[in-house]
Amino acid sequence: MREIRELTEMDEMTEASVMIRRIWGGDRDVMPASVLRALQHSGNYVVGVFDDGEMVGASVGFFGAPARRAMHSHITGVAPERQGQGWGRMLKNHQKEWAFARDVGHITWTFDPLGARNAHFNLRVLGTRAIEYLPNHYGALRGGIESGDETDRLMVTWALAAPPAPTPDDADVVASVQIPRDIEAVRAEDPEDAARWRVRVREAILGHLSEGLVIGGFDDERGYLFVRPRV
């Protein structure tokens, strides 16, 4: 049986911390159990993902400034062998229900703009809106899935009570920025090519944003779609 539930016990925090480190890799403690405990105890979002009682993923979020009525989903993941099985949609639905119960209207999070699967899920499936490009947001990481790469992030916001933001009509698209279909495979085969992708995509996106365009959606073939902001 699939289940997502809030974590309350210290042994669960330890298990979740190990799971998060396994998912993201590297030689660092991504989310120490003590931090998870502190976040949970102060009323924030700390959940485990279970399949027949076995923890297979975790998600951590915390509240934004009071006036924004927002929650920031900081880290979410499931074990590699469980990916592509619908857990992402299940987690986002759980976050949405949890947030609604606490009068939260928006959930924000960041993701690697080179990740096509996440871009598709976030912008096309959930209909979030991209609001900010953050170059090298977390600095250089040692080891893990982004080892040797800079940690650029695209921040999105999910308006929970609003209809999903639609993919823009072709007539409204004035520019696009293509990304690799599978950046993980590129990193594994040719890290230098992955680094070139990083620079090309960063420069192109920041260039379009500086011209006053906004990211209006994502297309699997063309990449990020830029439109003129609505007046």
* pLDDT exceeds cutoff 90 at 25: no
Task: State the pTM of this model.
Answer: 0.92
Q: 192-203 pLDDT, tens per residue?
A: 999 999 999 999
Give me the mean pLDDT over the 127-144 stretch: 86
- Give me the pLDDT at residue 145, please: 54
- Give me the pLDDT at residue 183, please: 95
Beta strands, E only, 17-174: 45-51, 54-63, 70-78, 106-111, 129-134, 153-159
Give the count of beta carbons closer than 10 Å to the beta carbon of residue 25.
15
Q: How many angstroms separate the first and last alpha carbons of the chain?
A: 48
Task: With cut-offs at 50, 70 and 90, classify the pLDDT of residue 144.
Answer: low
